[in-house]
Amino acid sequence: MTRLWDRGEPLDALVLRYTAGEDHVLDERLVAYDLRASKAHAAMLAAHGYLSAADLEAVSAAVDELAAAHARGEWHIALEDEDCHTAIEARLTAQVGEAGKAIHLGRSRNDQVLAALRLYLKDALAALATRASRVAQVLGELAAAQGGLRMPGYTHLQRAMPSSVGLWAGAFAAELEDDAVGLRAATRRADKNPLGSAAGYGVPVVSLDREQTRAALGFAATQEPVTAVQLSRGKAEATALFEATLLATDLGRLAADLCLFATAEFAFVKLPDAFTTGSSMLPQKRNPDLFELIRGRTGEAAAALQEVLAVIAKMPSGYHRDLQLIKKPLFRGLDVVFDSATLMAHAVPAIVFDATRLEQALDPSLYMAETAYRLVQEEHIPFRDAYQRARHQGPGRRREP
């Protein structure tokens, strides 16, 4: 195997395994994006006379064949390839000969991987935003079906004021939609074309049309100057993980409420058997494992964000091999939040609130704030005086809706 950087010197097998790490596995999800970028780059080279029309046709056809074969699982990246770039170039060269080598003109693995990563990020963020909106949608449907049920609202885990299932579900739905907006906005840093920056300082002599590849790949802008491209690495990834972590946090808090509400002490909700597990020792128990894991995996998303930030912290400008370490936490963090959102959207429609238990929990003390406000409105006294009168007067009778 001849790697893109290979000059003929042998590479120690242990060094290869350590430096390649898991890139050959992680890059499987980047293959389609790298092929798209390669096709756009080849078209740009042909437009400027660096590749013949016949070679462009052969390269384009080969790229399409490689993409389809990879999607069918007919080939994979090997450790010896190190990454998707070597694996693709080797196969292209095997299929179309010298033209497969020619398309590396004017690019480096540095701008190649960024182009693929940014195309992936745009798709991943859009998919995650759609998942967030789906959870919001099913919460809205729950509110429409059961929203009229009254329930206590809590502060400090103490009963505070009357609320409703509609207000509870509506709050989470609103925040999840806000998360979707944040995820879509997080594409801003990923939506810049890095191709043509090469190893970080542009390409001498050769005239590249970065605007052509930008348009072909659907990037909103071309990143300038070329030296900013490597300096920006990790920022689009961290932005994506930050927004994903906020989504994970909202999913985790929703899950925490459901775990609490499903306890015998509350018994506000009945979680469906299909989404709970039994106990290996206690026959009577059903455990909210799914919701506990969604709650716990909030930490995985936050840890992935911190890991990316730690890689780029205090790093000098230009390219450094440790930037490779960003991919693993990026994929892991986005994957876990995507899975959590998918499962929450699947589970929420099966949740049923217990109207009797909710009513039993609405003790008269929850209406004391309302009593104080009514005193202000009816007797025109200062709120602090009304507050004291309501406090001394006690709960009184609960008002009917």
What are the catalytic residues?
A: 156, 279
Report d(CA 346, CA 112) in Å as an integer.
37
**Three-class SS state of 283:** coil
The torsion defined by the Cα of 73, 75, 78 and 83, in degrees rounded to 10, comes to: -90
Question: In 10 A of CB 279, how many CB atoms?
Answer: 10
249: which residues sit within 8 A by CB, 6+ positions away?
298
Cis peptide before 225 (omega within 30 of 0): yes
Report d(CA 266, CA 358) in Å as an integer.
9
Extended beta strands in 129-270, E state: 150-155, 158-164, 192-193, 221-222, 269-270
Q: How far is CA 189 from CA 112, 125, 240, in A?
A: 16, 12, 9
Report d(CA 92, CA 40) in Å as an integer.
15
Burial state string for 76-112 with b = 16 or more CB within 10 A and e = fewer than 16: ebeebbbbbbbbbbbbbbebbeebbebbbebbbbbbb
Name the pairing type of β-strands 221-222 and 192-193: parallel
CB 135 within 8 A of CB 344: yes
- What the block records as the tokens of 391 is 């406090």
CB 298 within 8 A of CB 245: yes
CB 51 within 8 A of CB 42: yes
Report d(CA 195, CA 106) in Å as an integer.
9
Provide the 8-state DSSP code for 184. Answer: H
Q: Which of these, 17, 25, 28, lies nearest to 88 by C-alpha position?
A: 28
Report d(CA 227, CA 112) in Å as an integer.
15
